[in-house]
Structure 1
Amino acid sequence: MDHTLGNRRGAMLMVIGAAAFTLNDTCLKALSAHLPLFQTLFLRGVGNTIILGMLAFAFGHMRFSYSRHDWMLIGIRSLAEAVAAVLFVTALFHMELANATAIMQAMPIVMTVVGALWLKEKVGWRRTLATLVGFIGVLMIVHPGTDNFNIYSLFALATVATVSIRDLAARRMSANVPSIFAAWSAASAVAIVCGAGSIFEDWQPVSGTSVILLFGAMAFVMTGYIMSVMAVRVGEISFVSPFRYASLLVGITMGYLVFGDLPNGLEFAGCVVVVASGLFILLRERSLEKED
Structure 2
Amino acid sequence: MFKGVLLGFMAFAAFALSDAFVKLLRGSLPPYEAVFFGAMLGLTALPFIKGPGDRWRDVVQAQRQGLWLVRAVASAIGSISAVVAFTALPMAEAFALIFLLPIFVTILSVLVLKEHVGWRRWSAVVAGFIGVLVVLRPGFRVLGIGHLAAILCGLSGAISMIALRLAGPHEKRLTLYGAGMIGSLLFAGLMMLADFRWPGLAQWLFLLGYGLLAALASVLLMLATQRAPANHVAPTQYSQMLWAVLLGYVLFHDALDWPMAIGIAIILGAGLFTFVREDRVTRWWRRARVV
Q: What range is the shorter-chain TM-score in? A: 0.7 to 0.9
Partner of 2:255: 262
Q: How far is 1:175 from its partner?
A: 3.6
Instruction: Report if aligned partners of 1:110, 1:160 keep a CA contact under 8 Å in 2.
Output: yes
**Are the structure 2 counterparts of residues 21 and 174 from structure 1 closer, same or farther at C-alpha, using a change threshold of 3 Å?**
closer
**Are the structure 2 counterparts of residues 288 and 260 from structure 1 closer, same or farther at C-alpha, using a change threshold of 3 Å?**
same
Q: Distance in 2 between matches of 1:184 and 1:91?
A: 24
**Are the structure 2 counterparts of residues 279 and 149 from structure 1 closer, same or farther at C-alpha, using a change threshold of 3 Å?**
same
Q: How far is 1:197 from its partner?
A: 1.4
Deviations 1:97-141 (A, max 9, x none): 111111122222221222222212222211211221111112222
Instruction: Report if aligned partners of 2:85, 2:150 keep a CA contact under 8 Å in 1.
Output: yes
Q: How far is 1:56 from its partner?
A: 5.7
Code of the residue aligned with 1:80 in structure 2: it is A
Q: How far is 1:33 from its partner?
A: 5.2
**Are the structure 2 counterparts of residues 169 and 126 from structure 1 closer, same or farther at C-alpha, using a change threshold of 3 Å?**
same
- Normalised to the residue count of structure 1, the TM-score between the two structures is 0.87
Q: How far is 1:68 from its partner?
A: 7.6
Code of the residue aligned with 2:3 in structure 1: it is R
* Higher deviation after alignment, 79-88 or 170-179: 170-179
Deviations 1:41-84 (A, max 9, x none): 222222223x1444466743423499886111111111111111
Instruction: Report if aligned partners of 2:62, 2:175 keep a CA contact under 8 Å in 1.
Output: no
Which residues in structure 2 correspond to 1:101-140 (within 5 Å)? 101-140=95-134
Q: How far is 1:258 from its partner?
A: 0.7
Say whether 1:39 aligns with 2:24. no
- Of residues 193, 217, 238, the one that matches 1:245 is 238
> SS of 1:41's equivalent?
helix
Instruction: Report if aligned partners of 2:61, 2:175 keep a CA contact under 8 Å in 1.
Output: no
- Of residues 173, 180, 189, the one that matches 1:179 is 173
Which residues in structure 2 correspond to 1:90-105 (within 5 Å)? 90-105=84-99
Instruction: Report if aligned partners of 1:76, 1:166 keep a CA contact under 8 Å in 2.
Output: yes
Q: Distance in 1 between matches of 2:27 and 2:150?
A: 20
Which residues in structure 2 correspond to 1:170-249 (within 5 Å)? 170-173=164-167, 175-207=169-201, 209-249=202-242
- Normalised to the residue count of structure 2, the TM-score between the two structures is 0.87
Partner of 2:287: none
Q: Distance in 1 between matches of 2:183 and 2:273?
A: 34
Which residues in structure 2 correspond to 1:155-170 (within 5 Å)? 155-170=149-164
**Are the structure 2 counterparts of residues 133 and 176 from structure 1 closer, same or farther at C-alpha, using a change threshold of 3 Å?**
closer
Q: How far is 1:87 from its partner?
A: 1.4
Q: How far is 1:202 from its partner?
A: 4.8
Q: Distance in 2 between matches of 1:251 and 1:9?
A: 23
Code of the residue aligned with 1:21 in structure 2: it is F
Q: Distance in 2 between matches of 1:147 and 1:165?
A: 30
Q: Distance in 2 between matches of 1:72 and 1:138?
A: 33
Point out where structure 2 has 5 or more consecutive residues left out of the alignment.
284-291
Deviations 1:114-170 (A, max 9, x none): 222221222221121122111111222222232242332011111111111111112
Q: How far is 1:93 from its partner?
A: 1.3
Partner of 1:12: 6
Partner of 1:154: 148
Q: Distance in 1 between matches of 2:268 and 2:179?
A: 31
Point out where structure 1 has 5 or more consecutive residues left out of the alignment.
1-5
> SS of 1:123's equivalent?
coil
Instruction: Report if aligned partners of 2:33, 2:189 keep a CA contact under 8 Å in 1.
Output: yes
* Higher deviation after alignment, 243-252 or 257-266: 257-266
Alignment RMSD: 2.4
